[in-house]
Structure 1
Amino acid sequence: MRTVRAECTDRMLIYDERHLRSILNEYTDHYNAHRPHQSRRQRPPDQHEDVVVPLEGRIQRRKVLGGAINEYHRAA
C-alpha cells in the first residue's frame, strides 16, 4: 500500500471510484510487469529469472499513468 500511494495516488487527483480503479489497475500492471524490485535483483515479479535482457539497442520510453511514471525498454 505504501508504494502505490507514494508512487501513484499521492501524485494524482482522483475524480471518483471508477477513476481510482482504472489507475490502480494500470499501476498494478506496471508494478508486476515492469517495475524493478531489489529483492529480485532488479527484475519485476512477472519476469522469470532466466530471461536475458538485451544490453544493446535503442531505448524507448513509455508513459504510464499519464506520465507520472515512465517505463524504459529496449526497442526490438
Structure 2
Amino acid sequence: MIRDRDSRFTALFDEVFTTAGIRVVLAAPQAPRMNAIMELWVGSVRRELLDRILIMNERHLRTVLAEYETYFNRQRPDRALNQASPLRALPDPVDADIEVSRRDRLGGLLHEYAQVA
C-alpha cells in the first residue's frame, strides 16, 4: 500500500496492514503530485465503472478492470491532452461530412466512437 506521510497515519495504522501481510510504502517527501495521478485513476474507475456495475468475484473484477484500462488509455478523451487519449493522438481535422460509428463496451456502460472510412 502506498500512502503519504500525513501525521494522521500512526504506526498503529501501518501495523494493521503489516499484520495482514501488506507492505506499506511511503510516498516521497514533498512530492504533492505523486498521489494525484493515482487519485485521478481511482476516481475515474469509481465514477465511471464501479458505481455502475455489480462485481461478482475477483475474476470478474480483473476482467472488468482490464477492459476499462484499455478504454481509459486508448479511447477516453482527456482534457489535459486536448481531448486526445493517453496512448492515441487526435486525428487530423476533416472538413467533409463524416460518419461516426459507436461501439459499446462492458454491456453499454462505456462507448467508443470512431470515424467510418
Which structure 1 residue ranges, 5 or more long, are not aligned?
none
Larger radius of gyration: 2
> In the alignment, which residue of structure 1 is the partner of 2:106?
65
- Structural mapping, 1:3-42, within 5 Å: 3-42=44-83
Which structure 2 residue ranges, 5 or more long, are not aligned?
1-41
Determine if contact 1:54/1:74 at 8 Å carries over to the other structure.
Answer: no
Q: Which has the higher contact order (CA 8 A, sep 6+)?
A: 1
Q: Structure 2-normalised TM-score?
A: 0.59
Matches of 2:107 and 2:93 in 1, distance apart? 26
Moved over 3 A (4+): 53-56
The reply to whether residue 52 of structure 1 matches residue 88 of structure 2 is no
Instruction: Go from structure 1 to structure 2 and tell me whether the alpha carbon gap of 1:53 and 1:15 turns closer, same or farther (over 3 Å shift).
Output: farther
Cα drift, residue 71 of structure 1: 1.1
Matches of 1:58 and 1:11 in 2, distance apart? 29
